[in-house]
Amino acid sequence: MQNIVIKDIFDGFNDYLNKEQELREQIREVVREIDQAAKEAAIALQIIHSSLSEISAGCTSARAQFEVCRKGYQRLAELIPEGQYYRYNDHWHFLTQRVVFLVALTIYLEKGFLVSRDTAAEILGMKTKQTDGFHLDIEDYLVGVLQMASELSRYATNSVTLGDYDRPLTISKFVADLNSGFRLLNLKNDGLRKRFDALKYDVKKIEEIVYDISIRGLRVDTGAASGVATDADQ
């Protein structure tokens, strides 16, 4: 009799583990689709480092991939049981940071300002409030923005190579304002804090590019560069 009771207990565990494994596999499948779309968007946006005339086309291609990401996140929202977002978010945590980076970069290239968390979430079909379930975590948004700053540092360098000597000045002002904004946050000594610490090197690198352009007399003074206004300010 005792063996039967034990068997019933462990049979129940086995059913639970099988269902858990099945759910995680469904999640991984959707995440792979989002990841592939993110890779395609990243490839499309790499055009900024080699061409000045095809940036708009690159942004258009990236936005098409964001629609794929949006559908993927909506499927994840349907898969995740209510109240268990953080139980499974290790599957999409870092991927979402990368997708936000791509969205933020696209918006900057198109409009010249910082995408808000609300707009980034809307583009990806996500919520912003934790109580609403599947949402865009604040930390994921912030890390994505910091990743964009590093990409803009590279963009500033390659802009000079392509003969655009004014672009680095605009980027320098934007990234400097980002740096000022992040300094307002009370960041703990975690991954986000370490990622923010790297921002000062991005700022310094871009400033050095601007300085080099200035002393060489390559930049045409076209007035003050735009700052880090967000889409909410427009």
CA angle 27, 116, 36 (to 5 degrees): 30
Q: Give percent above pLDDT 70 in the chain.
A: 89
The answer, yes or no, to whether residue 120 has pLDDT greater than 70, is yes
CA torsion 21-89-31-50 (nearest 10°) is -150
- What is the overall mean pLDDT for the chain? 90
Q: Alpha-carbon torsion 136, 72, 31, 46, what sign?
A: negative
Confidence of residue 131 (pLDDT cuts 50, 70, 90): confident
**Which tens digits make up the pLDDT trace of 6-40?**
767 776 677 778 888 999 999 999 999 999 999 99
List of domains in the chain: 2-233 (1.20.58.190)
pLDDT at 51: 93
pTM reported for the whole predicted model: 0.87
Distance (Å, rounded) from C-alpha 218 to C-alpha 40? Answer: 35
Q: Give percent above pLDDT 90 in the chain.
A: 74
The answer, yes or no, to whether residue 223 has pLDDT greater than 70, is no
Distance (Å, rounded) from C-alpha 212 to C-alpha 160? Answer: 10
